[in-house]
A and B are shown apart, each in its own frame.
Chain A
Amino acid sequence: MMRFLLNDERMEQAMGILLRFGVVMASTVVLAGMAFYLQDHAHQSVDYRSFIAHPLTLAHKGQLIDGMSHGNAAAIIQVGILLLIATPVARVVFAVIAFLAERDRLYTAISAGVLAVLLYSLIYGK
């Protein structure tokens, strides 16, 4: 498993596949959510002129799963968006593992640093 990673070119190929897989999954979920949303709300009127914050945190994922199981369209779209945001994060996690397998300490540390910034913003950032 680790041996096939021991090369920058192969790492990039695998990252490319990983990213595309993430985007396909995320857009499928978002598309489904949008279809449900249109089914429920097609004839309502829209207003995005004024900003009303609907904060959503990762801590609300229980709420998200609950919403999804009840067929709440907005919750399904949110899950798709979370999948999309997770895609580049997964790429950085992958880089940490791959550089570790290459026994490249400098770049393991650099990738881990990028991952730390990403996780900080996802969990604590306001």
Chain B
Amino acid sequence: MTVLVFTLLVFASSSAAGLLGALTGLGGGVVLVPLLTLVFHVDIRYAIGASLISVIATSSGAAAAYVREGFSSVRIGMFLEVATTLGALLGAYLAAKVPTRALAILFGGVLLYSAWLSWRSRRSPHVDAAVDNPASDKLKLSGSYPGPDGQKINYKVDRIPEGFAMMFGAGTLSGLLGIGSGAVKVLAMDRIMRIPFKVSTTTSNFMIGVTAAASAGIYLRRGYIDPALAAPVMLGVLFGAITGAKILSRARVSVLRTIFTFVILALGVEMIVNGWLGKI
């Protein structure tokens, strides 16, 4: 394949990944790595490097739109970023120690888990529980967000040590696999710390870029980020994500989500099989 054809194909498929990622809320990174390794036969380390760069681009690009709505919390984000950035350092360190086959199998596992989460979230509606946690006030994590009628809805943050620990895990996964691990971040905030869903998702998006930046320098130094590959991936994912955000209100997200769930399920199985057989 020539560089021109390769670049155009990678750009097109990254756009599709970014588009689907934005429409389903799962992010593009999670399909990028299997796409690049399984379809384009790219070494998984280059794929992880390119994916990490695209994750920073989409997180930062979407941030302006999210903050305008006033849902995200700069304090919760900054507090939890202590855990995610430290985790990301550990993950990037481990990425060099772990054989690529094991990386592929682990990535497959993350895909299967994301598919399962995505499948479950269609049915179990989230319940907001008002809790009283003095540490939430002490750490200034309590806040409010605009409700449907414009009134302010107050919330507190619960189970802070557990949430903090899980964020460390999310950061490690992000550094190890070059993904945003948004699903784990939302899970930690929404399910464990009982932060309202809209605050969790928008704050998670804000945090992803900072988490990824903590391992990007290490990847750059190790040569995981190849400029000729990272360029079409980054631009493609960004283009797809912006387009996705624009058409979000018109799309039938539930159908898309079901399709996407099965796509990542299939990719997850393929990653595990290829990793197991040593083809990656």
Contact = CB atoms under 8 A, between A and B. Distances in A.
A56 interface: yes
Given A27-B235, A43-B2, A125 B63 contact: no
B220 A56 contact: yes
Given A8-B74, A55-B221, A106-B140, A85 B41 contact: no
A111 to B, nearest CB: 5
Contact of B3 (A9, A41, A107): A41
Interface in B40-62: 40-43, 45-46, 53, 56-57, 59-61
A111 B221 CA distance: 25
Contacts of B222: 53, 55, 126
Contact of A16 (B42, B67, B89, B235): B67
B134 interface: no
Contacts of B234: 27, 30, 81, 84
A57 to B, nearest CB: 5
Given A11-B74, A121-B92, A121-B215, A114 B2 contact: no
Contact of B235 (A22, A34, A50, A122): A34
B214 interface: yes
Contact of B213 (A48, A49, A85): A85
B210 A118 contact: yes
Interface residues of A, number: 67
Interface in A78-113: 78, 80-82, 84-85, 87-89, 91-92, 95, 104, 106-107, 110-111, 113
- Top 8 A-B residue pairs of the complex, sorted by shortest distance between their CB atoms: A53-B223, A16-B64, A122-B217, A77-B227, A16-B67, A88-B209, A48-B42, A42-B4
Interface string B224-265: 111111111011001000000000000000000000000000
Contacts of B230: 30, 77, 81
Interface string A66-83: 000000011001101110
A19 B63 contact: yes
Nearest to B46: A48
Interface residues of B, number: 67
A44 B60 contact: no
Given A30-B235, A56-B221, A15 B67 contact: yes
B150 to A, nearest CB: 15
Contacts of B190: none
Given A88-B210, A114-B78, A114-B85, A48 B229 contact: yes
